[in-house]
Structure 1
Amino acid sequence: MKRLLSGLILLAIIGAGGFWVLTSPRWQSQDIGPIPTDAPDLDNGRSLFMAADCMGCHATPGQDDKLRLGGGLAMTFGFGTFHVPNISPDTRDGIGNWTVEQFARAMHAGEDPDGRHLYPAFPYASFQRMTARDLRDLFAFIKTLPPVEGQAPGHDLKFPYAIRRGVGFWKILYLDGEVFKPDPQRSASWNRGAYLVEAVAHCAECHSPRDALGGIVADRRFAGGPHPEGRGYVPNITPDEATGIGKWSKEELVELLTTGFTPTFDSVGGSMAAVVAGTSQLSAADREAMAEYILSLPPRTATPRAN
């Protein structure tokens, strides 16, 4: 009996040690290469900021200035409620004391300056594709924005999701640390669109169904599904003619990214309206590149709605 008990204790210790090692943020961190040290391109940083819709999540709710990134928005999923943090340049409550390397690690590896996992409600599974230069420029632009005092409340998550260390297992499944690689067989505009859609604008994060662990279902990517927060249904944006946007022209998709109007003269609302507020400020060439890439996606039938 003592041997059995000793064996169980040993197995428990080995299991706990394995859990600790496998879920270690530092163990999983990926290297995106050196951060460029020349002067940041603030115009590029602003474009990336708009494409990424940073305002849509991080602007303090209930105020008119969407460049005041005090956070506080509550986002409720099946796992619980996440409160979006302050990412203004405030040195106490925001990211004013972060280094560009710490910012890049948060965006690329989902890790905060204290070495803790960030929950993937922050879409670093897409942001990991961004280049070191673009992360540098984005951070430099955010640092030009007004500091905002005040911290968001802590997350209110269900068990076992409240065990932050467990995010390490999620990263093993869904985070590969790969930066976007252009396809040499495609045009420069297609590759630009692919980079904006897949990495910066993280379109798949909302427009794809999720599995039980909250990861994107790979073979249903961009095919639409239930809204992540349980409010309605996010449309299929693949060029499937029956259930997606296969009958849209490139010009019509560019129009949506510019004004929010669809080919049927409807207008987008909700979180997509905030997205368009950002894409409308991109260059015409960037909107056209995004449309080119989206219309080149493999057609997929929309995920059926639940009755």
Structure 2
Amino acid sequence: MKKGIVVLFVLAVLAAGAAWVMSAPTRMSEQETNALKSGDPVSGELVFWAGGCASCHAAPDAKGDDLLKLGGGLRLETPFGVFVSPNISSSEADGIGAWSLADFANAMTHGTSPDGRNYYPAFPYTSYARMSDTDVGDLYAFMKTLPAVEGEAASHELGFPFNIRRGLGLWKRLFLDPSPVIAAPVSKGDVDQALWERGRYLVEGPGHCGECHTPRDFAGGLVLSEWLGGAPAPTGDGRIPDITPVDGKFGSWSAADIAYYLESGFTAEYDSVGGEMVKVQENMARLPSGDRDAIAAYLKAIPVVEPNAN
């Protein structure tokens, strides 16, 4: 009996040790870090709008230059608790002004803080992990030009076990994957491969469209087999629509309809954008027209998610 208890104890200790090791925050390799280059802030501004940084980190009613004051504070109420967007302004005391490029890149692509903690995936690093080193460097250069906003944002409001950050290391092993979600376009007539791939990059990477438009499993990870097939709103009531090319819904829009919607906010049915999509559309309107065309090309040539799938 005693021998069995000892064996169980040893196994428990080994399991706990393995979990501790596997849950450790990850970082870029030394080779990857050495390859990073602080880039062009002009190009970085386009990455900033594509990534929707102001939508979460500026004041909710911000307009004009106030969109560049990233003091955080937005409360995101979710089934896991309340997440509060942090100050990511250039303030050295309260924002990210003291971060190195490596600190920034590790946060964006690994979800790891400069002091070695796992970030919660309310920060969509699972999508940003697909960003190129060039875009990360350009974005870093642009963020350094933004005004400092003093004041630290409030803390998250999370109960057990979600307040244990270390456990997120195991979550990231399951759901943090920088590879593309959709390997190749679904054949729908002539597809411009380069345009489609640019759209894939914007949608799956900086645009992080899947974070809202794709359903999640019980652990909060995206169900990639239902990519962009619509999902319950991550905050509040309602449902985020299916934006796959399913017949009778969004799929009835042409690529030109989609691109025009992203530019103007007007739908193919002569309605106007509403809800949380307003900020997304306003961000997309700042991109070059070719990028909006690329997003449209991608959305018209991805697998359909049938309405009964979720």
TM-score (norm 2): 0.91
1:209, 1:303 within 8 Å by CA — same for their partners in 2? Answer: no
**CA contact 1:255–1:261 (8 Å) conserved in 2:** yes
Structure 2: distance between partners of 1:50 and 1:35: 27
Deviation of 1:176 after TM superposition, in Å, equals 2.5
The amino acid of 2:272's aligned partner reads S
- The amino acid that maps onto 1:60 is A
Deviation at 1:304, TM superposition (A): 7.2
Which aligned pairs between 1:150-299 and structure 2 lie closer than 5 A?
150-178=151-179, 187-242=193-248, 244-299=249-304
1:231 deviates by 2.3
The answer for the alignment partner of 1:302 in structure 2 is 307
Distance in 2, matches of 1:101 and 1:287, equals 30
Unaligned runs of 5+ in 2: 186-190
Deviations 1:70-112, CA, capped at 9 Å, x for gaps: 0000001100000001110100000000001111111111100
Cα distance change of structure 1 residues 197 and 172 upon mapping to structure 2, 3 Å threshold: same
Pair 80,181 (structure 1): closer, same or farther in 2 beyond 3 Å: closer
Shift of 1:60: 2.8
Map 1:3-22 onto structure 2 (within 5 A).
3-22=3-22
CA distance in 1, matches of 2:75, 2:43: 29
Mapped to 1, the partners of 2:43 and 2:16 lie a distance apart of 45
Where 1:270 maps in the other structure, the secondary structure is coil
Partner residue, 1:48 = 47
Q: CA offsets, 1:162-202, max 9 Å, x none?
A: 11111111111111344899969962211111111110101
Query: Cα RMSD over matched residues?
Result: 2.3
Q: Per-residue deviation at 1:3?
A: 3.1
Structure 1 unmatched ranges of 5 or more:
none
How far the C-alpha of 1:268 sits from its partner, in A, is 1.4
Quote the offset at 1:35 in angstroms.
5.8
Contact 1:23–1:168 under 8 Å retained in 2: yes
Residues in 2 aligned to 1:68 and 1:241: alpha-carbon distance in whole angstroms: 42
- Per the normalisation by structure 1, the TM-score is 0.92
In the alignment, the residues of structure 1 paired with residue 179 and residue 254 of structure 2 have an alpha-carbon distance, to the nearest angstrom, of 32
**Are the counterparts in 1 of residues 180 and 204 from structure 2 also a CA contact under 8 Å?**
no
C-alpha distance in 2, partners of 1:174/1:198? Answer: 14
Residues 91 and 298 (structure 1), Cα distance of their counterparts in 2 relative to 1, 3 Å cut: same
Deviation at 1:226, TM superposition (A): 0.6
Counterpart Cα distance in 2 of 1:295 and 1:178: 21
